[in-house]
Structure 1
Amino acid sequence: MPYLLGLIGACAAPNVQAQDASTNHLYGDVAISVQKRARPEFDPVHIRVGSFEGLASSEARIAWDDNIYATRNDRVHDALAVVSGSFSAHSTWSRHALSLDTDAALARGLSQTNEHTETYDARLGGRLDLGTRTRLSARASYSRAYEARGTIGDTTLRGPRIAYNALELGLEAEHTAGRLILGTQASLDSYRYAPYRTDSVQIGQGDRDYRTWSLGASAGYAVAPGVAAFVEGSYNQARYPDDTGTFDRSSSGWSLRGGLAFGVTRLIRGRAAVGYQDQRYDDTAFPHIKGLDFSAGLEWSPTRLMTWTIEARRSIQRSPLVGIAGIRQSRYGTRIDYEARRNLLMWGRLDRTVSEYAGTERRQSDLSGSLGADWLLRRNLRLAAQLGLQSTRSNGAGGREFDRRRMSVSLRYTL
């Protein structure tokens, strides 16, 4: 609920009109973030067409991976060449909003043809302002992507990458009444997995196709200057329309959380929530997944040259394995961004993910770290470099263990 930061900013003083310009943006000002801060002398100039602004860019990237298939033994290394392009446009109206974002990428492995991929993504969003207190928002996206090597969805091991198409639709409504803000959300997502070919045999992935819809509601209240309390809940249902297996992995579930959103000073802002989640499967062969639910994010800028971010989240993921319905996943991450020079941004990130496969002893732990730098050469030219390490360990039948190192260099040009 990012709108809560705006709410606590608006309620930070009894007389909002008496605040100066900097105070009005005390909690919603993304300039405190090193990565998002505006840099007029280096930021690309938008293309203006009527009441719309747009940006078009292209990027070339060379990457190297010392364990391209994420395996423990018989490691294979390879280099990847990636060419991508993107276009984004948004309205500049004083009321209402409309935006479009598209991108596409072509990747080729130097020696491993299994790494050849073509991806694309298109996202359309809009907002309708009904007076000054009520907003309606809608979003729609369609994409083609691939399961990343080493993730829970990567089931072919040394085989071809698994491709899927995703359609995601969403509606949101928000209403503000003084210190109180109410919201409701609805979404519908559909994922379809493409078959892949190995040893001249085509293997279907229809049993992985699923559709899910969810409804949610939230309420927030500014309890003190810079602090808002909120409660949020949701209900979801998931169905596998083409699953012909013995087990039915369809399910329904709900979650309820309460927490705080805060933006006490320009230096620190964030939100934290804790609650309970429950996912029940139609087939009694699968265990009921329930327990603690949490979500937190903290952004701290001790100086204008540094931003430290901490994130934590628990969720229930759908399993790609027919005999396992759900995976309880806990993610923890921290990142530091540093502005070494006005046009040189450096960053480091550390992440840990724990995946527990319900009904089995399998438990997978992923630890990854990365370092990177972005060099803003000109308004329309950016050079980036990145180095990453990953270590995965598992216990229980079917678990994966591997280590890998990755490096990449990219050059982005913006029209």
Structure 2
Amino acid sequence: MAIFGASASQAQDVRRGASPRDLPRLGYERRPIRLGPTNVRIDLDLSALYDTNVYATLRNRTDDIVVYAQPKVQIDWQGANAQIHGEVYAQTRRFVDLTRENATSFGAATSTRLALSRAHNLSTELRYDRTIESRGDPEARASALQRPRKIDVLAGELNYGLRGSRIGLDLTGGVQKSNYLDPNEKDRDFAMFRGSARTIWRPAAPLALFVEAYVNRRNFRTAIDISGINRDATTYGLLAGVSREVTGRLTGRIGAGAFRFDPDDSQLDRYSGLAFSGDITWTPRPRTMMTAQFFRGDVATARIGATGRTDTRIAWTLQQEVRHNLLLIGRAGWTRTQYRGIGADRLSTASAGVEVEYLVNRRFSLFTGVDYGRRTSNDPLEEFSRARLQVGVRAGF
């Protein structure tokens, strides 16, 4: 898998706001398999990665080389008033020395968008993922002597949108179920239910103002976890902000507000905090794109001794066409995880990386990338740093 998994989709016309990867380039245009109104794309990434700190530890670091293979099939169908997208993927990794870390993840997803009328639309999404827990996850419990945890995640979402000349409305409902396959981790299994309502007002194009209210409900599989705590909880939130909804140099939305964490267990304290969420894309030139993403809010936790968790995340991505067949992707990010409860650990993770891709022809490309990450904490045992270097080949049909 590439360090930064860039999309392989291809646009049919030059337009500001499109990713430089998606813009047409003579002799390198992606040609999907066409079956009437259906497009089929088949991708395969093969790569080798050198990891300087596989187990994400402060001391006694262990390095290794990992070989990745990642096939993916995408199907798109478009009718007069409907669009359907489906995809299946897999990723297998094999370590040269640390064979206990070998793992395979896979998944499938489908999404539908239906235009009920000019002002009304309905969209759905359903996906299943078999994921592998990262060794650097602050929630991870598995030791280096155990295999990394496998997690089944099933999620679905339904959205209704109303677009008037001045007023808009978005109603969204979703559910996600996470299941850790290791029986020793069953207290981390949970189902999350989410609902949100967003009202949009457009005083003057292209800017719009919005207010969004949301509620998250988390029900854990076990009545109490290994700490003797009932983790079931409800989080309420309210955001207000601004968005720019038309294609142009600057698009996206950003909102800020507050959230309220309301646990079922009387041992846990209720908590209120600052919340914000947003993403902004700036396209100063057709072949240059920069994206910034922001988030702060309540996050599920089953960490021993913790009564709650708040995450703050900031990420920045640059996509640049250096030459007609040479693409560059740069990325930087910062995450702060604040636990509440015994210990009240604070973790800050900073990362940066770059990837270069050379398009050999419309079917094949070569890529190389490097990234570096470092985590600091008030608990020295939680700290680590690591670098990764990756080279590989991509094929697309």
Q: TM-score, normalised by structure 2?
A: 0.91
1:217 aligns with 2:197: yes
Written as runs of structure 1 = structure 2, the 5 A alignment for 1:73-92 is 73-92=59-78
Residues 342-381 of structure 1 mapped to structure 2, 5 A cutoff: 342-359=324-341, 360-381=343-364
Within the candidate set 167, 173, 179, 2:160 is matched to: 173
Q: Work out which of the residue numbers 300, 306, 310 in structure 2 matches 1:318.
A: 300
The answer as to whether partners of 1:43 and 1:379 remain within 8 angstroms in 2 is: yes
Which of residues 106, 119, 125 is equivalent to 1:133?
119
| Structure 1 residue 325: Cα displacement | 4.0
Aligned partner of residue 205 in structure 1, secondary structure: helix
Residue 177 of structure 1: CA displacement? 2.0
In 2, the alpha carbon distance for the partners of 1:157 and 1:128 equals 47
The question of 1:191 aligning with 2:178 is answered: yes
Q: Which runs of 5+ in 1 are unaligned?
A: 1-21, 196-202
Residues in 1 aligned to 2:369 and 2:334: alpha-carbon distance in whole angstroms: 19
- For this pair of structures, how many residues does the alignment match? 381
- Given that 2:255 and 2:276 are in contact with CA atoms closer than 8 Å, whether structure 1 keeps it comes out as yes
Question: Pairwise mapping of residues 48-87 of structure 1 onto structure 2 (< 5 A)?
Answer: 48-87=34-73
Q: Does 1:401 align with 2:383?
A: yes
Q: Sort the Cα spacing of 1:190 and 1:308 in 2 relative to 1 into closer, same or farther, 3 A.
A: same
Match of 2:185 among 185, 200, 205: 205
What is residue 389 of structure 1 aligned with on the other side?
372
Deviation at 1:263, TM superposition (A): 5.9
- State the shift of 1:243 in Å: 4.6
Residues 157 and 173, structure 2, Cα contact 8 Å, conserved in 1: yes
Relative to structure 1, the CA distance from residue 98 to residue 263 in structure 2 (aligned partners, 3 Å threshold; closer, same or farther) is closer
Note if contact 1:57-1:87 (Cα within 8 Å) is conserved in structure 2. Answer: yes
Q: Decide whether the 8 Å contact of 2:75 with 2:86 is kept in 1.
A: yes
Q: How far has the Cα of 1:244 moved from its partner?
A: 4.4
Q: CA RMSD in A?
A: 2.0
CA distance in 1, matches of 2:22, 2:274: 33
How far apart are residue 40 of structure 1 and its match?
Answer: 5.7
Q: Distance in 2 between matches of 1:406 and 1:120?
A: 23
Q: Is the 8 A contact 2:17 2:283 kept in 1?
A: no
Q: Which runs of 5+ in 2 are unaligned?
A: 1-12
Q: CA deviation at 1:265?
A: 7.7
Q: Hey, what's the Cα distance between the residues in 2 that align with 1:319 and 1:69?
A: 21
Q: Please give the alpha-carbon distance, in whole angstroms, between the structure 1 residues aligned to 2:31 and 2:40.
A: 9
Deviation at 1:350, TM superposition (A): 1.3
Counterpart residue type for residue 390 of structure 2: S
Q: Is the 8 A contact 2:73 2:89 kept in 1?
A: yes
- Quote the Cα distance in structure 2 between the aligned partners of 1:369 and 1:300: 20
Q: 1:262 to 1:131 in 2, by over 3 A?
A: closer
Q: Shift of residue 264 of structure 1?
A: 7.9
* Displacement after TM superposition at 1:38 (Å): 3.9
Q: What percentage of residue pairs aligned between the two structures are identical? A: 23
Specify the SS of the correspondent of 2:299: strand
Query: 2:394 maps to which residue?
Result: 412
Superposed displacement of residue 317, structure 1 = 1.4
